[in-house]
Amino acid sequence: MNSISKDLPLSDTDERSACPATNGSRRAGILGLISRTRRSSTDIDAAKPTQASQPDAGGQRIVLGSEILLDRVSKHFSNKTVLDEISLKLDSGSFFALLGPSGSGKSTLLNLIAGFERPDSGDIRIRGRSVVGVPAYARQVGVVFQSYALFPHLNVAENLAYPLRRQGIRSRAIHARVNRMLELVRLGGYADMRITQLSGGQQQRVALARALVAEPDVLLMDEPMAALDKSLRDDLQVEIKQLQQSLGATIIYITHDQREALALADQIGVLNEGRFEQVGDAVSIYARPASAFVARFLTGASVLNGRAGGSAADGWYLEDENGARLPGQWHDRTPSSPGAKAEMAINPALVKITASGAHPMGWSIDARVAAVLYVGESTIVHLTLQGGSTLVAREPGASGRSVGEPVRVGWRPEDAFLFEVLHK
Ligand SMILES: Nc1ncnc2c1ncn2[C@@H]1O[C@H](COP(=O)(O)OP(=O)(O)OP(=O)(O)O)[C@@H](O)[C@H]1O
Ligand SMILES: [Mg+2]
């Protein structure tokens, strides 16, 4: 089922000049309600890029469709393919986290949606309308850049006020909104400071506040909290999530931090070399990563290489490069041939270590503790398995393990995913 959004929405300027005060007023009226109909699903749907339209009760045309739609979007820089036929459908009100290694194309994708780059091929639709060729300022999206992009000649308050002035909002209302937003990002006393007098983290908060102050329907954020300390990040994560829910905004949020992605987003996409490795809801992508790459990236999984062995009846295993047989399950399909090249991904949180004797998982392998990293709520234990393969486990609290200690290691076979290696 498609969500419903207006074909040609009132511009934000029109809407907010008429009633700039509250979120409630922005959502008043049936079209406002229709345009903010929430959807829960996000998926890749390259085959159906367009919308059906039908008249609404008042005779105005409304369009069935998604908030942001990318249809086979490609981008090259000097013959290098940076984005390769990316398709994505985000429904109104989704919070989509874009994850991926450095250079995978995340910022480029955001710049294409924002209008600062033009795709070489494919279509980009926002609120049902193609925006390819539409200048950035006319797309009505809020953007927080990786590089802040603040106006150095304006002070903090003027930076925040700028997008509101462009919307024609009156000075008194601007003043109130700017002050409220500065309080939110804990820069209450900084309104008159020059941008060049601020630290990197403070500048990042100004950039975040400037994007949020305009209360946009579509908000694109490129690592908006990368330079902030943990306590401020934790607080702002809650604020951003609550703000998104109260505004019904659609957010694309780039982060390197998988915990942040899981905490904030209801949908996650993992980009690798310009292609999505997996797109899905946060819970299922964490529980069932579609590739060893996604498992490593999202859960910090250990990835072991070897050959496939076993059968459906007796259970599958990976025979690792050192001859150890490690039980697991195939992510989707069984191997094309016995002994096929395979890799196994194991989430560290699901590895169980015991001192000796019977193992609660019913099977186990000898190992030795190679390193112990206490990180507060848990301890990361690096293990060398019998034969020499290495594996990481995460134990709750301070585990008290010591380097060199002999242990037994096991996991539920259904928690270790096997993937056939087809092209290596
Ligand atoms: N304007 C440009 N001209 C040439 N190459 C570019 C340009 N912008 C990006 N690239 C290249 O495109 C690739 C993807 O860059 P992009 O900035 O999208 O990566 P990213 O995923 O955002 O990385 P990071 O996590 O480091 O920010 C990189 O190899 C980069 O060098
Ligand atoms: Mg980037």
pLDDT tens for each residue of 118-151: 999 999 999 999 999 999 888 888 888 878 789 9
In a domain, 62, yes or no: yes
* Residue 108, ligand 1, Cβ within 6 A: yes
Q: By CB neighbour count within 10 A (0-12 exposed, 13-18 middle, 19+ buried), where does 383 fall?
A: buried
Residue that wins the pLDDT comparison between 93 and 383: 383
272 with 389, same domain?
no
In a domain, 153, yes or no: no
Strand-pairing partners, residue 71, are: 123
In a domain, 338, yes or no: yes
* Residue 336, ligand 1, Cβ within 6 A: no
Of residues 174, 211, 164, the one with CA closest to residue 12 = 164
* Residue 118, ligand 1, Cβ within 6 A: no
124 with 60, same domain?
yes
- C-alpha distances in angstroms, 167 versus 48, 158, 387? 34, 14, 66
| Pocket residue to mutate for ligand 1, from 107, 143, 222, 225, most atoms within 8 A of Cβ | 107
In a domain, 257, yes or no: yes
Of residues 329, 312, 282, 338, the one with CA closest to residue 96 = 282
Rounded CA-CA distance 257/229 in Å is 13
DSSP state of 50: S
Rounded CA-CA distance 254/221 in Å is 6
Count structural domains, the chain.
Answer: 2
Query: Is residue 44 over pLDDT 60?
Result: no
132 with 254, same domain?
yes
Percent helix, percent strand, percent coil in the chain, to nearest 5: 30, 35, 40
62 with 33, same domain?
yes
> pLDDT per residue over 366-379, tens digit each?
999 999 999 999 99
In a domain, 101, yes or no: yes
DSSP state of 7: S
> pLDDT per residue over 265-308, tens digit each?
999 999 999 999 999 999 999 999 999 999 999 999 999 999 99
Ligand with the closest atom to the CA of 109: 1
Length of the chain: 424
SS3 of residue 222 by DSSP: strand
Residue 337: count other Cβ atoms within 10 Å of its Cβ.
8
Q: Strands 406-410 and 365-374: what pairing?
A: antiparallel
Residue 283: count other Cβ atoms within 10 Å of its Cβ.
11
pLDDT of residue 104: 96
Say which residues have a Cβ less than 8 Å from residue 261's Cβ, sequence separation at least 6: 97, 99, 253, 255, 268, 282, 298
Q: Counting atoms of ligand 1 from 1, which one is nearest the CA of 223?
A: 27
Domain boundary among 285, 309, 331: 285
- pLDDT category at 422 given cuts 50, 70, 90 is confident
Tokens of 166: 């462009």
In a domain, 310, yes or no: yes
128 with 64, same domain?
yes
Amino acid (one-letter) located at 149: A
How far is the centre of ligand 1, averaged over its atoms, from the C-alpha of 106 (Å)? 8
Q: Strands 275-281 and 129-130: what pairing?
A: unpaired
Rounded CA-CA distance 37/34 in Å is 5
What domain range is 372 assigned to?
299-420
* Residue 82, ligand 1, Cβ within 6 A: yes
Percent of the chain with pLDDT over 90: 59
User: Worst-scoring range by mean pLDDT, 27-36, 100-109, 312-321, 378-387?
Assistant: 27-36
Closest Cα to atom 18 of ligand 1:
105
274 with 370, same domain?
no
Per the listing, tokens 């367009």 go with 50
Rounded CA-CA distance 19/14 in Å is 9
How far is the centre of ligand 1, averaged over its atoms, from the C-alpha of 332 (Å)? 32
> pLDDT per residue over 336-369, tens digit each?
787 899 999 999 999 999 987 778 888 999 999 9
CB 68, CB 126: distance < 8 Å: yes
Closest Cα to atom 3 of ligand 1:
77
In a domain, 162, yes or no: no
In a domain, 227, yes or no: yes
Rounded CA-CA distance 95/287 in Å is 19
Rounded CA-CA distance 234/224 in Å is 13
* Residue 79, ligand 1, Cβ within 6 A: no
Per-residue DSSP letters for 158-189? HHHHHHHHHTT--HHHHHHHHHHHHHHTT-GG
Rounded CA-CA distance 144/291 in Å is 30
